[in-house]
């Protein structure tokens, strides 16, 4: 049996906005296997982002359990959570979030420094990672000297810094043009295959669908349906046909 990297059990999340209770999630059961490439899709306000934050250990459920590598996230203290985020999970953001005061290389080595690597070890590994994402010649560039696609590549190298078992990508192509977006998806897929790192991405981007092993559709705070890629081939056609 394949190990589940993320597992949720009847997860609900209620936000209180003044006197109104907003039920963002209404009982989600989800199992994500190690090495999978998962896309979470759904319209705005469907609870997609909330679920995404849950499985990334960024938010705690109101009721229910979230297990990351079979560890109950709610049981962890601040130090353990930081440890988890540092070593087990890599984050990729829609807005790239490269630390503006640091060079590409320093951005990539920062999580390694947080993990306690020495400066030399971190440097070597950072150079190697930036080479892998195709930025070997831009080590000492500052974020504002890089294009959006290049910044996202730095972010991907940074997410891979401590060899995480899980990468969370929040709309990774949202701020990129179609061509660059396709390249970034290709890069993520490549990492997914070569390092067998699990990738979970929340997205609106239909280009993402063909790269995904499974797609989780969220509607009204519940899992609407989960599609395997083999069922999808036809659907991608129809979507493209419609638009």
Partner 1 sequence: MNETQPLARNAQARIGKQMMLPWSKAFEIALKSIKVRFWRSMITMSSIVLAIAFLMSIWTSTAITMSLSLGPQREIDAIKARLAVVREAIKGGAGAPTRAEVEERYAADLADARALKQAAIREKQSALDSATTDEAKKLKDEIEALQAELGEAKTLELLRDHLAACRSAVETTKGRLDTILQQERAGGETQAKEDAPPPPKDSPAPSTAPPAPRAGGIGAFLDFMSPTDKWLAVLALLVCFVGIVNAMFMTVQERFREIGTMKCLGALDAFIVKIFLIESAMLGFIGTLAGIVIGFLLSTVRQWIVYGGATWTYLSLASILFAALMAALVGLVLSIVAAIFPAQKAARMQPVAAMRIEE
Residue whose CB is less far from partner 1, 167 or 209:
167
- 196, two tokens: 């067998």
Q: Confirm if 38 and 213 have CB atoms less than 8 A apart.
A: yes
Span from 22-30, 90-98, 124-132, 178-186 in contact with partner 1 (CB under 8 A): 90-98
- Residue 209 beta carbon to partner 1: minimum distance, rounded to whole angstroms: 22
Residue whose CB is less far from partner 1, 25 or 213:
25
Q: Confirm if 41 and 218 have CB atoms less than 8 A apart.
A: yes
Q: Which residue in 16, 101, 230, 241 binds partner 1 (CB under 8 A)? A: 101
Q: Confirm if 223 and 27 have CB atoms less than 8 A apart.
A: no
Q: Which residue in 110, 139, 232, 236 binds partner 1 (CB under 8 A)? A: 110
Beta strand ranges found along 2-55 (DSSP E): 4-17, 20-33, 37-41
Q: C-alpha dihedral over 118, 92, 55, 225, to 10 degrees?
A: -150
Residue whose CB is less far from partner 1, 92 or 216:
92
> How far is Cα 213 from Cα 230, in angstroms, rounded to an integer?
8
Instruction: Examine residue 129 and tell whether it contacts partner 1 (CB under 8 A).
Output: no
Give the x-and-dash track for 158-187 against partner 1 (CB under 8 A): x-----------x-----------------
- Residue 3 beta carbon to partner 1: minimum distance, rounded to whole angstroms: 11
> How far is Cα 222 from Cα 233, in angstroms, rounded to an integer?
24
- 33, two tokens: 């296997």
Residue whose CB is less far from partner 1, 38 or 213:
38
Instruction: Examine residue 44 and tell whether it contacts partner 1 (CB under 8 A).
Output: no
Count the residues of the shown chain that bind partner 1, applying the rule CB under 8 A: 39
Q: C-alpha dihedral over 206, 208, 210, 212, to 10 degrees?
A: -130
Q: Which residue in 31, 59, 124, 220 binds partner 1 (CB under 8 A)? A: 59
- 163, two tokens: 């060899």
Q: What are the backbone angles phi and psi of residue 142, rounded to the nearest 5°?
A: -85, 155
> How far is Cα 130 from Cα 156, in angstroms, rounded to an integer?
9
Span from 113-121, 131-139, 180-188, 207-215 in contact with partner 1 (CB under 8 A): 113-121
Instruction: Examine residue 13 and tell whether it contacts partner 1 (CB under 8 A).
Output: no
Of 96, 208, 93, whose CA–CA distance to 150 is shortest?
Answer: 96
> How far is Cα 66 from Cα 79, in angstroms, rounded to an integer?
18
Q: Which of residues 197-236 bind partner 1 (CB under 8 A)?
A: none
Span from 82-90, 177-185, 191-199, 230-238 in contact with partner 1 (CB under 8 A): 82-90
Q: Rule CB under 8 A: which residues touch partner 1?
A: 9, 49, 53, 58-59, 67, 69-72, 75-80, 82-87, 91, 93-95, 97, 99-102, 110-111, 113-116, 158, 170
């Amino acid at each position: 049996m394949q190990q589940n990297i993320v597992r949720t059990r009847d997860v609900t999340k209620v936000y209180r906005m003044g006197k109104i209770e907003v039920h963002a999630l209404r009982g989600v059961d989800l199992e994500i296997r190690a090495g999978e490439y998962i896309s979470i899709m759904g319209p705005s306000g469907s609870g997609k982002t909330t679920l995404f934050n849950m499985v990334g250990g960024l938010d705690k459920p109101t009721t229910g359990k979230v297990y990351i590598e079979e560890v109950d996230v709610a049981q962890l203290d601040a130090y353990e959570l930081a440890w988890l985020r540092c070593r087990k999970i890599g984050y990729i953001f829609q807005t790239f979030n490269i630390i503006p005061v640091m060079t590409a290389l320093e951005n990539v080595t920062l999580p390694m420094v947080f993990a306690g690597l020495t400066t030399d070890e971190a440097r070597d590994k950072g150079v190697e990672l930036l080479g892998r994402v195709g930025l070997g010649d831009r080590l000492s560039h500052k974020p504002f000297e890089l294009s959006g696609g290049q910044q996202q590549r730095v972010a991907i190298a940074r997410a891979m810094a401590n060899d995480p078992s899980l990468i969370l990508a929040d709309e990774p192509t949202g701020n990129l043009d179609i061509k660059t977006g396709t390249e970034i998806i290709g890069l993520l897929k490549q990492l997914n295959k070569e390092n067998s790192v699990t990738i979970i991405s929340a997205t609106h981007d239909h280009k993402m669908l063909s790269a995904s092993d499974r797609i989780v559709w969220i509607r009204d705070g519940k899992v609407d349906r989960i599609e395997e890629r083999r069922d999808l081939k036809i659907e991608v056609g129809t979507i493209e046909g419609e638009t």
